[in-house]
Chain A
Amino acid sequence: MRVLLVEDDKALADGLMRTLRENGYAVDHAPDGELALRAAAEEHYDLIVLDVSLPGIDGFEVLRQLRRNQHQGSILMLTARDAEQDRIKGLDLGADDYVTKPFSLPEFEARVRALIRRNRNERSPQLQIGRLSVDTVSRRACVGEEELELTPREWGVLEYLLTRAGQVVSKEQMLQALCSWDDSLTHNAIEVYISRLRAKLQSAGIRIRTVRGFGYVVEEPAR
């Protein structure tokens, strides 16, 4: 996994580079927009971490040019401004996510992981969370070497949750996404599937936690 970090603040750039390297990514650093564009043209990056306020060409402009040049990787914006308009502008221009300074390191790492995983999912049907590996094409889920037996409905719920691991999903969202294959799906039915999945996933070290009155979240197992 290759990551390009575009950040002009030396100290922050140094810290983020160390962090990304410790997470197992290959990291390049560009201190301004021009260098960033040149680097992105020559190499393939799975993720570009892009600061908004850069000397010379600013982050929004870099973003615009990257997307115009059909850059395929994910882009995570860093900004010291949190006005709603800035956020919307960044996302409109094609950023995938957005982190406001100052941020906590675990939050930054989680966003990076999520973007890398999303990027990978689009190209590969394999999902790996904790000891659970899932093939979304053949619809097989294994804990270690042991294959899980899942009904199609359970499979649907599991896939929906796993592709959003770490995110809180509401029951409404799940119903909307899943009712195409079963119109009679209800809140109660979802609760039943969740409790069955919990039992089956116990050995995989994956916890599906309930958010009271709202929905569920699959906790990413500690790394």
Chain B
Amino acid sequence: MNVIKRFYRYKESTVATIIVLLVIGLTILNRTFLTFDNWASFLKSNSVLGIAALGTLLVILTGNIDISSSGQIALVTVVIAKFMLAFGGNPFIVFIVGLATGALMGVVNGLLVAKLKIPSIIATLATNTIINGALRWYTNGAWISGLPDEFTRVGDIMFFASSEVENGTINGVPIQILFMVIAAVITFFVLRYTMFGRGIYALGGNADSAQRIGFNNDRLTVMAFTYAGLMYGLAGVVYTTIMKTVDSNAFIGFEMNVIGAVVLGGVSISGGSGSVFGTMLGMLLLSIIKNGLVLTRISTYWQSIVIGIIILFAVSLDIINIKREEKRTIKVDIVKEEV
């Protein structure tokens, strides 16, 4: 009894419970769901979502929001594709270029929000529009293909693969999942073991007090957006290793999924509370829903409906809980004595 109560003190527990229930349900409906191959395959395609969500997590922790993840990722894919066509596909250099592009965009967002005090929703809406306009103008909507083998080969690397590859099954952990795990571990360490990470929590929890004890709130904000940009950069590169071609329109509306994963993971939209673990659970929940819709042969058009409803449900529940707690707080200390 007590253990259960303790378990549900963590916001992440609700998502975890839903995930377990979904896994049981989907396994009953379709035996292929709970197979190594299925998980390796859907986690591979959702690694982009997971990595991007880690970036947006930091921004939301500061109490801001970032709806430019889709534009930034698309920009990175186009930049590295064009770069590779011009200078060749050394994977290491491509990674650097991708991360740098994302980081640069993040700095711009951060400065708009921290220094010019433009509300983050407007600032990132504007940069997203500019980026998407620029991409369509530049690519004319055309796909970029013919990327060098040297780079695309990276996307097929498997870890822990057994020597026998049976008829076309995956059999091993795709490198993209590893990237996501590494990104999650790094983000965890940044949030947990750097003053930047603790500052983000302090800023999101009580901005005035953070300033008072000596944090530089503006710098923290810029750095959080920059870190988000880095993650979008990584997401863009990882996406390119999966698809091996680049479609600048592929990410329209993707920011919805990213924010959805973060919010579902129990991260408070008003800042200060949330974890890498929760964000990964949020990503997992969204991925399982998407995969479940495919396996149960429900039209993929249902995806955005289900995701939208789940998000509305999650944020409403959050608010209702906050209101209920507010009502319960004791304002006056009534002493039991009679006068």
Chain A partners chain B: no
Residues of chain A touching chain B, judged by Cβ–Cβ distance below 8 Å, are none
